[in-house]
Amino acid sequence: MIFAGSGKELVGDHRAEDVIVLSNDQKEFCLKRGFQIYEAMKSQGVPPNEATFTAVARLAVAKGDGDLAFDMVKQMAEAKITPRYDIF
């Protein structure tokens, strides 16, 4: 589990050794890089699969962009890909 924050905000049953704490700068870099990879895939004509849509939706949620996350779900439907219920 990767968690951005102070490390004092651990959630659930995760032990400290199961958690990687990122600084805000590291989190921003990861989000930016994830979106860059997605855009590169699109520009090269790589068709997104369920994992791609899920990853981008999770990036959008981590960024605080619920509209983009919902748009990913709509795009999945348009591509006739059924999202796994447990990921959204």
pLDDT at 2: 53
At a CB cut-off of 8 Å and minimum separation 6, what does 3 contact?
9, 10, 11, 19, 20, 21, 22
Q: What is the pLDDT of residues 22-61, one digit of tens each?
A: 889 999 999 999 999 999 999 999 999 999 999 999 999 9
Tell me the sheet residues that pair with 22.
4
Q: What is the pLDDT of residues 11-32, one digit of tens each?
A: 566 666 667 788 899 999 999 9
Boundaries of every domain in the chain: 2-87
pLDDT at 10: 53
Q: What is the pLDDT of residues 67-82, one digit of tens each?
A: 999 999 899 999 999 8
* Tokens linked to 83: 């999202």
At a CB cut-off of 8 Å and minimum separation 6, what does 75 contact?
48, 53
Instruction: Provide the residue type at 50 as one letter.
Output: E
Helix 50-63 / helix 66-78 crossing angle, nearest 10 deg:
170
For the entire predicted model, the pTM comes to 0.73
